Amino acid sequence: MKSIEEVLKEKLGEKNLEKLMQIKNQNLYEFVADYVEICDPESVYVSNGTEEDLEYIRKKAVENHEEAYLKITGHTIHFDAYGDQGRDKANTKILIEKGEELDKSIVTGDRETHLIEVHEILKGIMKGRELFVCFYTLGPENSIFSIPCVQLTDSAYVAHSENILYRQGYDEFLRQGEKARFFKFIHSEGELDERFVSKNLDKRRIYIDLKNETVYSVNTQYGGNTIGLKKLAMRLAIDRCSKEGWLTEHMLVMGVHGPNGRVTYFTGAFPSMCGKTSTAMLEGESIVGDDIAYLRNKNDLTFAVNVEKGMFGIIQGVNSKDDPIQWKALHTPNEIIFSNILVLEDGSVHWIGKDGEVPDRGCNHSGEWLKGKLDSKGKEIPPSHPNARFTLSLDKLDNIDSKLNDPEGVPVGGVIYGGRDSDTWVPVCESFNWEHGIVTKGASIESETTAATLGKEGVREFNPMSNLDFLPIPIGKYIEVNLNFGKKLSKTPLIFGVNYFFKDKDGKFLNEKNDKKVWLKWMELRVHNEVGALKTPIGFIPKYEDLQKLFKQILKKDYFYEDYVKQFTIRVPENLAKNERVISIYTSIKATPQLLFDVLEREKQRLIEAKEKFGEYISPDKFPEV
């Protein structure tokens, strides 16, 4: 059997070997050598994050036909295989030891069996190809938030994507040396067909080994399955932080601009299609991150960072009117990878919801495309896939916050939880305290499905902290970690629930699209105790006169009292029904903290008492000011 040194010398060559050996970490050498030997690439390219190395990977992505140049300088297109354009939930598994058990909602696999299987698939899978070894850091460099990562992949597209999305980590590895506790990622796109897309989708596997903090991804190109540092690394981080007392959350981080130039930072968790991106991208505010955040206790206060430096954004519906900041970036010469959208003969592009008429023909993820083209099941193929994406560095956006890469992170003044809820949650409500907020706002998130996206309207999907899909630990333990985090703080961030989808009894939305600008400004003022509130059974709601003033200042329009009453009437029957649903769900979840049930029971009693005093539907003017 060859030694580590022999394996590395044979495949890396002098220059690449020297780059690797600059990092003083024996575990790293062993990891790279093991998978070089297993995957058997023709050669290995080690990237240390210099512009020369980044450019090499950009060019390779085009040379290898994984990307192609578009009309605008710096823009490229990537297509995934038909059937490989979304996360493979069935084959994404948390590997656990015999005797371990997680909640039924978490897809798991026997660690020993699945590691044998994936290593069999990986054996010789990179023959004739080049393996890229890339170094990144989750969170800013040289920070208590930093987690160094190493990615092995035979896909220049994956390496290129991660170079846009993540901070280079070679210097972090140099800095940490033998002390580095790094996440490890192995990816191969597998055998490719004539369109240079993954061919063996039946052998697509995405396995997360918590014990060795390693992610395996094979026979897939779609970013959600292959860009390991995103949701796959999120599972590793949730597992690690649950043992260390900090938080990994599926949250935006943004700066809300208050009076006299003040910026107050908020994190926010929203399930898909509930307003997360539109909140993070609001004009007049600044974005730190749109997807994943680490939160830590520093000097008994909460600080947060964006784990990433870029965005892997859904492009469907992006247009010049509703998304001016993204629209401008997507039409400017930048480094952008588009995936699974329509490409026209002249190199211009189109996607579902883009300004202008839908072109008659082009090329998309299904190959040559014409209007009315049907798939094998007789279903019409749209010009772009509904999950089509763009990969963009956040610093290309006009609203980027100056603290994006601050190693100290940003101080968190407020935490926002939002869902799609037609009949229960008022548009904005502040919790009484940290425990009340975590339980009744975060752990109680439900999101109603929409007919347009999921085929069946109005089904309430339970999604605590908008993180259910990404938990590698029991739900009860995850709730407990969040509750315990607040106990160690001298001052906790305020917690708010928001709902942009509240409707009247006739099914008409009670919020307009831009009203969220006002809710954010009110929350910012509450953080600094500069406006009062009304105390209701479910938390603190705004006073009419404060919102009237903010609507005039922010949206330049009148805000009528009758609209306020409709929006902030507390619907007791609906809130009690939700309370019962949530209690029922957690009763079936093992190891749920008793505190959660206590908080929900107290809220239930407050609602019953209010109902006895004021009736089932209570106007905000019935509640006392605080």
Active site residues: 274
Which segments within 111-245 are labelled E, that is strand?
A: 130-138, 147-153, 167-168, 183-188, 205-209, 214-218
Cα distances from 330 to residues 74, 334, 342, 387, 388, in angstroms, run 11, 8, 15, 17, 14
| Closest-CA residue to 62 (of 76, 72, 79, 51) | 76
Q: Which of 267, 49, 285, 276 is nearest to 167 (CA)?
A: 49
Q: Return the DSSP state at 384.
A: S
H or E segment to which residue 336 belongs: strand 336-339
| Contacts of residue 607, Cβ cutoff 8 Å, sequence gap at least 6 | 537, 538, 572, 575, 576, 579
- Evaluate whether 281 touches 325 at the Cβ level (below 8 Å): yes
Can you state the angle between helices 111-122 and 26-39, rounded to 10 degrees? 60
Give Cβ neighbours of residue 243 (< 8 Å, ≥ 6 apart): none
Instruction: Write the single-letter amino acid at 574.
Output: E
78 token code pair:
């990537």
Give the Cα-Cα-Cα angle 462, 468, 469 (nearest 5 degrees).
Answer: 120
Backbone Cα Rg of the chain: 25
Neighbours of 589 (CB within 10 A): 16
Q: Are 479 and 443 in contact (CB under 8 A)?
A: yes
> In this structure, what token pair is assigned to residue 151?
């990615």
Q: Which two tokens stand for residue 434?
A: 């940290």
